[in-house]
Amino acid sequence: MGIVLDQLPGCAKPLPGGQFLLTTTDYFIDLGRKYSLWPLTFGLACCAIEMMVAYAGRFDFDRFGVIPRPSPRQADLLLIAGTVTKKMAGPIVEIYHQMPEPRFVVAMGSCANCGGPFHDSYSVLKGVDKIIPVDVYIPGCPPRPEALVYGIMELQKKILKMKIAKGGGATPQQEKGSRDLTGNGSNGGQV
Amino acid sequence: MLSAYVVIFLFVAAGIAFGAGALIAAKLLRPSLPYARKLTTYECGIKPTGSTEVKLNIRFYVFALLFVIFDVEILFVYPWAVTVKEVGLLALGEMGIFLSILFLGLAYAWRKGALVWE
Amino acid sequence: MASTKDAALARLLEHLSSAEPAAHPIKDYPTVRLSDPAEITKAAAFLKDELGFDYLEMITAVDWLGPMQLDGLAAARTAAHPFKETPLKADPPVTPAPGAGAAYRPVLDLLWSFGNLRENLKMFLRLEVPRDQAEVASLTALFPAADWQEREAFDLLGVRFLGHPNLTKILTTEDLAGHPLRKDYAHQKDRFDE
């Protein structure tokens, strides 16, 4: 862990005005994180088209600091846009594990939320939250680009609530331990 | 005269501080939670298969070699260029001989087909 | 255009011994019904070499078994919806579509689609094979595109293509047993279907 994230809460608390220092640090760290969300483009189906439109000129995503990245090593947001088949579930979990913290997941569209119109199919995963923890769900089939932009704004609000005193870098979802995927806990990192 | 060099030194120091500052700040502020699964090689989510050794074509080496030679040649031309006015015709002739020797080398590489990309 | 289409059809029928124009052509494209499984390689070679149909578009099959009442996921849709007071109605009894003209029978109706890109023509070949012994020659030697098309037909419908270099699953997960697009496929819950 970075030295600041580890030591600062402990050092700052006894100091006079230490709490103010902590909240200011929290604010600036979260500001940096939320205004430079770099998604790993994970367009799988029709929602990918709406996602592409959101990146393009009319609903410009770049003004939020959102730049698409092709590799999980450079991304901090996994934007699942489209139907997740069971065959794709394995690669999605691998890629999620290969993203560095702090990492966030946004499930875009009905199919990523719950399987969508293909819920009863033999080959469709009923929602991507069966395999990875999701921070924001965006309903729609497909959601309009404005809805996707609103979803990212909701994620930004969620990021603003992150505190380094608690969990230091982990997302609120991961802190709750809804699905232990780091491989350190009892689950052992299994899907 | 010394002050001119101080300015250059400050420029270099500022440039280094800019880059180093960003990297140091990042190191202090980022979480570091490595685990085995995170450190696996990225291959679009599937298990990495195949060898990691990439066979580079020899033409890259040939072009790099030629570039370095002629780049150093140009490097030698620079100090000559700032003093040629004082020294005069002799310097011009001297540089002409130097360039023509290196041009012979270029002609040889050209004839040998080293400049063809395919 | 019409004349080249009919000319191609006539030449193909002339070349094959046991083929005839299909009873129900696909739209207005020439459709040939083969009756001998051994003829498919001969037909494909003739189409590719002589008639200029060198673009294999599709290899698939139709399962004529008819609608079945299944256990598993299909029946679950008739169970009461958890969020609604009134239960879902059961699916109404299915009658065969008018104009289909074929009674339900245990066959897989294979379909090959060839294209002639220079003259803008399409040719469809159909062949019925029995469901429990769905085997036919592979076209990978003539058309490399047949490789993955045949793997898909094998994975989803269980049609074996003899002479295929690598006839394995391509679309379904490793732990899915059976052929999902067959009418009598009953889905077993796997680890993703919690």
User: pLDDT, tens digit, for every residue of C149-181?
Assistant: 999 999 999 999 999 999 999 999 888 888 999
**HEC assignment per residue over chain B:** CHHHHHHHHHHHHHHHHHHHHHHHHHHHHCCCCCCCCCCCCCCCCCCCCCCCCCCCCHHHHHHHHHHHHHHHHHHHHHHHHHHHHHHCHHHHHHHHHHHHHHHHHHHHHHHCCCCCCC
Contact in structure between A150 and A105 (CB atoms under 8 Å): no
Task: Answer with the residue of higher pLDDT: C88 or A83.
Answer: A83
For chain C, which residues lie within 8 Å of any Cβ of chain A, measuring from their own Cβ? 73-74, 76-77, 171-173, 176, 180, 185, 187, 190, 192-194
Distance from CA of C184 to the nearest CA of A (A): 13
pLDDT tens digits in sequence order for chain A, 191 residues long: 567 777 777 777 788 888 888 888 889 888 988 999 999 989 999 999 999 999 999 999 999 999 999 999 999 899 999 999 999 998 999 999 898 878 899 999 999 999 999 988 889 999 998 888 888 999 999 999 999 999 999 999 988 888 777 665 555 555 444 344 444 444 444 44
Determine the residue of chain A that is closest to B37 in CA distance.
A97
- Calpha distance A104→A173 (Å, rounded): 9
Determine the residue of chain B that is closest to A184 in CA distance.
B35
For all residues of chain C together, what is the average pLDDT? Answer: 82
Task: Answer with the residue of higher pLDDT: B42 or A3.
Answer: B42
Using a threshold of 3 CB pairs under 8 A, tell whether chains B and A touch: yes
For residues C77, C78, C84, C86, the Cα torsion angle rounded to the nearest 10 degrees is: 160
Of A29, A92, A98, the CB nearest to B42: A98
Determine the residue of chain B that is closest to A89 in CA distance.
B45
Contact in structure between C168 and C51 (CB atoms under 8 Å): no
Taking an 8 Å cut-off on Cβ atoms, the answer to whether B35 and A170 are in contact is: no
What was the pLDDT predicted at A129? 86
What was the pLDDT predicted at C94? 56
Residues B62-93 have pLDDT tens digits of 999 999 999 999 999 999 999 988 988 999 99
Please, is C29 exposed, middle or buried when counting C-beta atoms within 10 Å of its C-beta (0-12, 13-18, 19+)?
A: middle
Task: Answer with the residue of higher pLDDT: B30 or C50.
Answer: C50
- Looking up tokens 């979480």, which residue turns up? B31
Phi and psi torsions of A180, nearest 5°:
-80, 105
Contact in structure between A55 and A68 (CB atoms under 8 Å): yes
Q: Which helix (H) or strand (E) segment is A104 a member of?
A: strand A104-108
Taking an 8 Å cut-off on Cβ atoms, the answer to whether A120 and C172 are in contact is: no
What was the pLDDT predicted at A188? 40
- Calpha distance A16→A118 (Å, rounded): 58
Average confidence (pLDDT) over B43-47? 86
- Calpha distance B57→B55 (Å, rounded): 7
Taking an 8 Å cut-off on Cβ atoms, the answer to whether A87 and C173 are in contact is: yes
The complex's ipTM works out to: 0.72
Residues facing B28 on adjacent strands: none
Taking an 8 Å cut-off on Cβ atoms, the answer to whether B30 and A5 are in contact is: yes
Determine the residue of chain B that is closest to A30 in CA distance.
B29
In A, residues 100-129, which contact C (CB 8 Å cutoff)? 120, 122-123, 125-126
- Calpha distance A31→A25 (Å, rounded): 10
Distance from CA of B37 to the nearest CA of A (A): 6
Taking an 8 Å cut-off on Cβ atoms, the answer to whether C192 and A89 are in contact is: yes
Residues C102-116 have pLDDT tens digits of 577 888 999 999 999
User: Where is average pLDDT lowest: A21-25, C9-13, C90-94?
Assistant: C90-94
**B75 to B64, B79, B89, C169: CA distances (angstroms):** 16, 8, 21, 62
What was the pLDDT predicted at C49? 92
Neighbours of B65 (CB within 10 A): 12
What was the pLDDT predicted at A163? 79
Best A78, A84, A85, A97 member to test B by mutation, with max B CBs in 10 Å, is: A97
Task: Answer with the residue of higher pLDDT: C185 or A150.
Answer: A150
Task: Answer with the residue of higher pLDDT: B8 or A178.
Answer: B8
Token reading at B37: 């699964």
* pLDDT higher than 60, residue B47: yes
Token reading at C34: 């083969």
* pLDDT higher than 70, residue C82: no
- Calpha distance C182→C65 (Å, rounded): 8
* pLDDT higher than 60, residue C148: yes
B68-104 per-residue burial string, b: 16 or more CB within 10 A, e: under 16: eeeeebeeeeeeeeeebeeeeeeeeeeeeeeeeeeee
Of B27, B37, B46, the CB nearest to A97: B37
